[in-house]
Structures are given as structure tokens and as C-alpha cells.
Amino acid sequence: MGKNVGEWVRRKLEMMGITPYLFGDSVESVQQRFGVERSKIVKLDSNENFFIPREKLLKLVVEALENLDLRLYPQEEKQELRDKLSSYAGVPANYIVIGNGGDELIERIVCLFLEDGEQALTISPTYSMYRRAVIVQRAKLQEVSLKEDFSLDVNSLVSCMTAKSKVLFLCSPNNPTANQFKMDDVKTLIENFPGMVIVDETYFEFADYSVASLIQKYENLIVLRTFSKAFGLAGLRLGYCIADAEVAKALSDNVGLPYPVNTLSLKVGVKVLENIHIVKEAVKQVKIEREKLVKALNDIDGVKAFDSKTNFILFKTKRSSAKVYYNLLKRGVIVKKIGAVLNLQNCFRTAVGLPWMNERFVEALKETCSRLGS
């Protein structure tokens, strides 16, 4: 094949419809491009949790490193974390699967339950990794739009179910709309779907309820969770899912790599669960600041912010999202530019930052809207 390898790779990617994951502007790029002092740049585009004190996390990491021999593969650490999660989630330990972040677990689920030519079903808009995982598996993905109020169109979802429908992804609370779906609607879909229903609860700590209590009633339910948001451990790539014991065993033992999660991440996960009060206090503060930020955004002419059950807020502006985004960057504020969400134009997503971060963001957005004309 020789010199034609590059062309072959490009053709394969084109045939599969896989495009690179698009990361937003980095702190470094904003600093270099606009000359904004690094300490004054506010990064709010990735839904990270800044309310977990960095120094406390570092202390737990140091404690986790004690008696840790990095020359050894993970041994009992995974079971120790499963036992801690069992108490936290209120389910038996053998219902829990540990993964290298939620994305890796999504890949495992798709690998186990989807084959070439079969169908996955999801909503739109929602988290983009479902599409990527399904495409890589060479299965088909059908998306059903949410209603204008961001609620589930249950009838349309049910009407799309066929004998080839093997996986249904529901992100609740949903990214990017930030709303949590009604429990009765979720139950209806679980009861009607012929395959596995994955409810992605990445943001459940910031929401009103969890569907994890339904696991023992519905064998076709998998609840996906992460340490990246409420626990503030996005950099360690640690996630877990809750499923029927037989499904959990298959996902743990038969699908994926032998050692998907490194020993340090497993030990830090245990340490954070042993200090769960830190997480609970952080979640409490996020909720307080979330309400303040929604109000502050809605007080700006030309801006509409939507209610949230997550640690981020969806908002829209009257002016071009491209122009608003550029002007925010110039002022050292990085948010997620989304564009259209259903029938809404010029939409953005912002994490709920610390009070000083939110103040700087709101002030920058006020200046931007004033300059562009609300």
C-alpha cells in the first residue's frame, strides 16, 4: 500500500462519517491571540466544577499515592471503589462497572449491544459521543427531536422503535438543554424499548432525582455516571455505570481492556467518596450560584437564559453567536458556542463558575451586547 496509506485512511473516515471532536479555544490560545492576562481568563466551556477546592483534591491525591506501587497493575483497587460506590449509589456492588470516564463506558456498551446494520436511537440535541460511538461500531443512529420545551417526544420515540433497535441513549439531565426528563416518560420508554436503555446521569447530582432506583425493576436499564462533574475529577477520567448484575459482569469482564482505569484514579475515587462532604458542599454552592447566574443573564438586554438542572446554563442572544463569541474571547471569557438548538438561534452553553468568574462573564456579556446592540 505504501504511499497510499494516508488516502486510504481519509477514505475510511469519510465512508464512516467520522469527524474530529472539536475542542473550544484554550486559555493559552486566548492569551496569545488577544493578549489577555492568563489569570484574568475565565474558562467556562467544558462544564468543569470549580467549586471543589483544588488544594483539597491535591491533598487527597497525595494520600492516595501513599503505599502506591506504580510498577504494579491495578489489583484490589477496583473492587474497593465498587464497594464505596455501592454505598453511595444504593445498589449492590456487583451492579457497578468502573470505566475510564463515561465515554469509554459508552464505547463498551455499544460494542456489546450493537452490531453492523442494527439501530441505536437517541434524542436531538444531545451529547455528541453517542453518535461517534455508534458510527465507529458501523451501526445506524436515528435521532428524534425534543419538543420545543425541551421535553421528550415519547410518541415519536416509540414509533421509531423496530426489531433492529438495540440501544436507546437518553441524557438526563440533558446536554446542552440542561433539563431533566420526567420520570414517567423515561419509564414509558424503558418499558417499550426492545433493547437496552442507557440513561446518562452525568449531571444527576445537580438535579432532582435519579433513575438508579429502577435498575432492579428493569433489566434493560443502564445508568451512566461520572466523577468528572460533581466530583471535580475531569482530569483523572473516571466513570461508572449501574446495571443488572449479569449485564454488569459482561461489561466488566468480557468487553473492553483488562485494565481500563489506572490505579491512581481508582484510589482517588475512593478517597473522594470517603470525603463526600466536600462534594455535597460543592454541589450546594453550584446550585446557589446557578440560580444567581440565570437571573443575571436574564437581566441583560438581548439575552435569554433557560432553567438548569446541571452545573451549566443554556442561553441565547439576539445577535450573531459568532460575533458574541469573538467579543467574549477578546474580553478573556471562553464559553461553548453551540449555534442552533431546535428552533432557537445563537445559543451558548456556560458552566456555572465561581462567583468571581460569573461576575466577570456577566460583565463581559453586558459589554458585548451593548457594543453589538442587543
Residue whose C-alpha is closest to residue 327's, from 8, 17, 34, 24: 34
Segment 132-149, tens digit of pLDDT: 999 999 999 999 999 999
What is the SS3 string spanning the chain? CHHHHHHHHHHHHHHHCCCCCCCCCCHHHHHHHHCCCHHHCEECCCCCCCCCCHHHHHHHHHHHHCCCCCCCCCCCHHHHHHHHHHHHHCCCHHHEEEECHHHHHHHHHHHHHCCCCCEEEEEECCCCHHHHHHHHCCCEEEEEECCCCCCCCHHHHHHCCCCCEEEEEEECCCCCCCCCCCHHHHHHHHHHCCCEEEEECCCHHHCCCCCHHHCCCCCCEEEEEECCCCCCCHHHCCEEEEECHHHHHHHHHCCCCCCCCCHHHHHHHHHHHHCHHHHHHHHHHHHHHHHHHHHHHHCCCCEEECCCCCCEEEEEECCCHHHHHHHHHHCCEECEEEEEECCEEEEEEEECCCHHHHHHHHHHHHHHHHHHCC
Residue 13: its pLDDT value, please? 85
Segment 315-338, tens digit of pLDDT: 999 999 999 999 999 999 999 999
Question: Pick the residue with more confidence: 3 or 290?
Answer: 290
Q: What is the mean pLDDT of residues 52-56?
A: 96
Segment 80-128, tens digit of pLDDT: 999 999 999 999 999 999 999 999 999 999 999 999 889 999 999 999 9
Residue whose C-alpha is closest to residue 166's, from 106, 103, 121, 116: 121
With cut-offs at 50, 70 and 90, classify the pLDDT of residue 11: confident
pLDDT at 372 over 90: no
For residue 34, which amino acid is it? F
Instruction: Indicate the CATH number of 21-47+278-372 among 3.40.50.410, 3.40.50.1000, 3.90.1150.10, 3.40.50.1100.
Output: 3.90.1150.10
Asked if 207 and 178 touch (Cβ cutoff 8 Å), the reply is: no
Residue whose C-alpha is closest to residue 350's, from 368, 336, 333, 330: 336
What is the pTM assigned to this prediction? 0.95
Q: What sign has the CA pseudo-torsion 208, 214, 219, 225?
A: positive
Residue 208: its pLDDT value, please? 96
CA distance 168 to 186: 11
CA distance 217 to 201: 18
Residue 330: its pLDDT value, please? 96
Q: How much is the mean pLDDT over the chain?
A: 95
Domain segments of the chain as ranges:
21-47+278-372, 54-274
With cut-offs at 50, 70 and 90, classify the pLDDT of residue 12: confident
pLDDT at 287 over 90: yes
Q: Burial-class residue 260 by CB neighbours within 10 Å (0-12, 13-18, 19+).
A: buried
Residue 175: its pLDDT value, please? 98
From the centroid of its chain, how far is CA 96? 19
Residue 98: its pLDDT value, please? 98
Segment 232-251, tens digit of pLDDT: 999 999 999 999 999 999 99
Cis-peptide, bond into residue 92, ω within 30° of zero: no
CA distance 348 to 321: 8
Residue 150: its pLDDT value, please? 98
Residue 112: its pLDDT value, please? 96
Percent of the chain at pLDDT > 70 equals 99
For residue 299, which amino acid is it? D
Residue 158: its pLDDT value, please? 98
Residue 6: its pLDDT value, please? 85
With cut-offs at 50, 70 and 90, classify the pLDDT of residue 2: low
Which residues have CB under 8 Å from 63's CB, separation 6+? 271
Number of Cβ within 10 Å of residue 71's Cβ equals 5
Q: Which CATH architecture has domain 54-274?
A: 3-Layer(aba) Sandwich (3.40)
Task: From residue 138, give the alpha-carbon distance in Å to each of 13, 58, 200, 293, 337.
Answer: 12, 41, 22, 42, 29
pLDDT at 67 over 90: no
pLDDT at 3 over 70: no
